[in-house]
Amino acid sequence: MILYPTDLSPLEKQYWLNFAVAPRPICFASTISANGGVNLSPFSYFNLFSTSPAVVVFSVTRRMKDSSLKHTLQNLLEVPELVINLVSESMVQAMNLSSADYPQEVNEFTKSGLTAIPAQVVRPPMVKESMIRLECRVMEIKSLGENAGAGQLVIAEVVCIHFENELLTEDGKVDATKIDLIARGGEEYYYRANASSQFRVVRPPAIPGMGIDALPDSIRKSEVLTGNQLALLASISEIPEVNPAFIDSHLQQIIQYFSINPTEMEQEVHRLAAEWLQKGNTEAAWQVLLVTL
Ligand SMILES: Cc1cc2nc3c(=O)[nH]c(=O)nc-3n(C[C@H](O)[C@H](O)[C@H](O)COP(=O)(O)O)c2cc1C
């Protein structure tokens, strides 16, 4: 399907784009008005855009029903400070409850049952239950228009970062396995980012990989190796030399049984290389593949 935003209603645009740009982290923003009224609302049009200076951006869209400004934005125009509370899975229902269109004077901390605790630097309170919080000062508010759904970008500098101790290892680093945050998708779908959905991808080495285009044709056009596996093979700088010390009994068997049929042998060799890649051993995968080159 191909869609042009100019052919779509505001709600249709929201529908398709919320699926396209997902999962999105959630900025659960606490703000305060000039007369001290506290607000707490979630915004998933949110991300980190700079580390030095430390800058996050989120977007408060104009209300769909009458294109008016939401209370969060009104507060930020009065007091340009906020806390971004990252949302753990255990807070999802309270967060959802707070997103209802309560009257201006209602404090969503009270409605959601979440606990307000003072921040270090800024005036709005923080959500105690949140494991990661960013105290921020607004640098700029950039309006993207006056229509219903038009984003008002809040560009904010992070002035204080909080990580709860239980997310940390003994040597003061983040224990990634303890992270349990939620993110927003399209419609009413959410994602859960925790140990079960995390995986590591090791950064390419300092010397750039040879690239897919440098792989021999028989490997690049393999019917066995996947795109991810080809990219792993292409991540080293050049095709390695044969290592006489490399021994793989399965490879010996393949050579023995399939030498009369080179096509089948190649496929078996590729399957074995794929197994080595799955075990994270690119070097062994190459040693196996060298047999057919
Ligand atoms: C998970 C989630 C994400 C949301 N993301 C946004 C968003 O990015 N921008 C926005 O304007 N509204 C977003 N909303 C809706 C606001 O939270 C909602 O309009 C809220 O009532 C605004 O409150 P306020 O008027 O007190 O500021 C989201 C709601 C939920 C539940």
Phi, psi of 210 (to 5 degrees): -65, -25
Mean pLDDT along residues 141-163: 96
Q: Which pLDDT band, with edges at 50, 70 and 90, does 59 fall under?
A: very high
Mean pLDDT along residues 68-93: 98
Span from the CA of 43 to the centroid of ligand 1 (angstroms): 5
Span from the CA of 42 to the centroid of ligand 1 (angstroms): 5
**Which domains are seen in the chain, by residue range?**
5-193 (2.30.110.10), 212-290 (no CATH)
Among 94-108, 120-134, 199-213, the range scoring the smallest mean pLDDT is 199-213
274 lines ligand 1 (CB under 6 A): no
Q: Is the pLDDT of residue 16 over 90?
A: yes
- Give the ligand 1 atom nearest the CA of 74: 27
Question: For residue 83, what pLDDT is reported?
Answer: 98
pTM listed for this prediction: 0.91
For a pocket test of ligand 1, which of 30, 44, 182 has the largest count of ligand atoms closer than 8 A to its C-beta?
Answer: 44
Span from the CA of 60 to the centroid of ligand 1 (angstroms): 7
Question: For residue 205, what pLDDT is reported?
Answer: 78
Question: For residue 259, what pLDDT is reported?
Answer: 83
Question: For residue 180, what pLDDT is reported?
Answer: 97
Mean pLDDT along residues 250-273: 93
- Computed over every residue of the chain, the mean pLDDT equals 96
For ligand 1, atom 13: residue with the closest CA: 43
Q: Is the pLDDT of residue 216 over 90?
A: yes
Span from the CA of 153 to the centroid of ligand 1 (angstroms): 13
